[in-house]
Chain A
């Protein structure tokens, strides 16, 4: 019994630390992508600190809400945040174990993120503004199309590792040692497309636009202001970091700490930051070299991803 309480306490502390760390790092990732994108366009771009400044400014602003809106509008961003936070506790970051590994694995992770999306999309309909509805409709549409491809891609890795639990999955990949199977490449490519779609990047969505006909995520949160908006922005950044970490865990977990030795943790931290940065470069390149697709072309992109995931599964297990 004492052991159980001890375990629970340790898990809670680890979850708190990891969540706090990821929440702190999340704005930096967005700012870094923005900066790299600006450099690619021969612009100076905002400084890396800008993400934090924006958040601080929004949090200090007067809370303004639509008079049409009900409690759903207020609860939306909070549930979105809570779901993303809960999702981060299911993902290993520095250690080859997720803090709340006892809660569940990949399926729970996908479900939890879906809960956040549901909450935000529902809240978007609450102000009566047509933009909210437009954004919610498009966001749910793309998410629905992306879901099977995401699941198939995750299944491929999970079945190869013999576990759907992310911690166990990482440990199994580490144990097997460096190995390469061509299916990894296909599965990675498929999941990368889904990550682009889920985080609202070009070519699926443009995070920098406020043009009514092309917005998706931005339309959904158009009516939010002040602290509510800060919460939405912060959560979206956290989700992006979470997705990139997930890719790192699934395909290149090398360097992750298997013990609590300070040296191992330091190596793990550097390795994780480096790998996420590499992926961020990939996201930037994808965003800078592509044009945004029309909404009705997105299904084609997603079906490419679905096809890749299915091929990966087929060549791995047939």
Chain B
């Protein structure tokens, strides 16, 4: 065998056709699944195994593109007569997001084989399988679209399929409402995007991204307006506060494997848009944009985690953490944009690298946590943390993987959350050192302090989420009878947990891969700021800081070994005794609850939560010996009540007013048509 031939054989495929093949494969899968509609186990296997293969192909395409620092172009559809075409490009940035998608979509698809096989969903296997494939295909196309038409088409497909999946269990009113709310808010966002792209298209005379996003197409005030439009459009999808209200409703409503995809990747489509358009597509960002992105990132991060702390529904809690992590991603991105505005391209790269790294990390640990939550919810039949307890004994593997995810999302070294948060801190410190304007200057350390607060609060929240759910005694019958998930659901979690460790131990490798993505963003200089080798990362500019988590990991292993040696002596037998129950019997009712755990923070941040609490004691003999005490605490849904409430009422009032126009009389409608025609004729005449 000649060497060249061998090489060609070993290359899995030509990256130029990888994406198209994956899309074609998905179409085939959908057709087969439709044929097997009634045989749910066949439909399930075909749909999800097929999706795994397609995702692997996409991932390989993206990896090839990143390694070769090249890009792949192609045409999906072409109408020769008009010259209209739908086209795609996989460049570095697209490739990075496609990798993020594939890394999470593969384990989620595998998990779904087990999860959707549960009797609860079995009837809908084929439906979920088909829509899942459409959705993943649509997201791939969003990341790869090369023109505004393809992008908006894929974007809309993504929105519609997500809404369909949110409404999978449409018998329940909450789920229908969540899907509807998601649709309405997404479409307001899509409307903004459409307006933005149309303005750009009118200015450039083309719909291809290379022309639209060349920057400096429009004047300065129009640029600001465009930034606002795109930020609104992409911000809704990303779940930036205050555009987030759909997220905590829609993410928990969907089947959990879909929630994992939504939280892991779908909201990143918004981030992709913000990076591609707002940060690098409208010319050099203005300082005010960067300030705005940092401010909304800080708000989303802190409020997201604060609201998460008060959630005792596991899936809602995770959904609020997605808002928090979007905030962290925006903090990095905003710091980068501010530095770009200052003209410090090297410093800006740190912020951009930090946010793109966190995109991957969040996808991995949030995917992991949602899959774990899916297993728990399936095993217990409830989402309420207060009903769990003691699950670690019954579901040891799920518990272990969930713990890894919890530590990663809390930003603890040497796991992956720490690595990207470390980079985000660096972005703020370098931004501080390199900026000149005195007041804006101080925004950087404030951003750093907000990030520190967010991380520490997230740690508190996950001590609660893991500790109350998995440790101590079971708090309900359902938790006591829980069964471990099948292997097909555990292996994907093991894979993601391993990634949490690997991506944290070797940040240098990740940043080097990211270099390929950075190369496609105009005017960044990551090499000038970040030196990455396989052991760790060093930030240049006078050896400011470096990190090598592997070294720390080794030190900790050593410390752990010493600790084990000190506490374990040969021959000593551990005596097991009941926990002291303060003189009474220790039952699950005496355990600390999630509500109690987060109460100090509720009291401290009562200005944010504005809680209403009710304590009701039912006494029989004396008020000092109540037979029953009822405690109810509720936090005020500030945004829903004070932002969306008035907005909704205003819209309804307007609709009420517009009823006059639609009176139901044919004569009136004919009159409208005549008035319109006359106006148009007059306009043409006047113009001509």
Contacts and interface: CB of A to CB of B under 8 A. Distances in A.
**Centre residue among B544, B557, B582 by max chain A CB count within 10 A:** B544
Contacts of B473: 68, 128
A134 B558 CA distance: 31
Contact of B577 (A67, A79, A130, A134): A67
B144 to A, nearest CB: 36
Q: Which of B418, B433, B567, B586 has the most CB of A within 10 A?
A: B567
B449 A115 contact: no
Contact of B567 (A63, A133, A147): A63
B463 A125 contact: yes
Contact of B552 (A78, A104, A138, A295): A104
B572 interface: yes
Interface in B516-575: 536, 542-549, 551-552, 555-560, 562-564, 566-569, 572-575
Contacts of B407: 115, 118
A189 to B, nearest CB: 17
B48 interface: no
Interface string A117-149: 110011011111110111011101101111111
Contacts of A86: 552, 555-556, 559
Interface string A163-195: 111001000000000000000000000000000
A155 B603 contact: no
A50 to B, nearest CB: 20
B577 A144 contact: no
Contacts of B639: none
B563 A81 contact: yes
A82 B449 contact: no
Given A107-B547, A159-B429, A132 B422 contact: no
Which among B429, B433, B459, B548 has the highest number of chain A CB atoms within 10 Å? B459
B599 A137 contact: yes
Nearest to A149: B449
B74 interface: no
Q: Which range holds the interface residue count of chain A?
A: 35 or more
A83 B574 contact: no
Among A70, A117, A124, the most chain B Cβ lie within 10 Å of the Cβ of A70
Contact of B559 (A82, A105, A227, A296): A82
A124 B551 CA distance: 28
Nearest to A61: B572
B471 A70 contact: yes
Contact of B453 (A115, A126, A144, A317): A144
Given A85-B558, A163-B545, A148 B449 contact: yes
B551 A103 contact: yes
Interface in B382-440: 390, 392-393, 403, 407, 410-413, 418, 422, 425, 429, 432-433, 438
Given A111-B411, A128-B591, A144-B601, 20 more contacts: A68-B473, A70-B393, A72-B471, A77-B567, A82-B562, A90-B552, A103-B548, A104-B422, A104-B536, A104-B545, A104-B546, A108-B413, A108-B552, A121-B467, A148-B453, A148-B456, A162-B542, A223-B580, A306-B449, A318-B441
Interface of A: 15, 19, 59, 62-70, 72-73, 77-79, 81-86, 89-90, 100, 102-105, 107-108, 111-112, 114-115, 117-118, 121-122, 124-130, 132-134, 136-138, 140-141, 143-152, 155, 158-159, 162-165, 168, 223, 227-228, 230-231, 295-296, 299, 306, 310, 313-314, 317-318
7 contacts: A86-B559, A103-B552, A125-B472, A130-B590, A137-B597, A151-B425, A318-B442
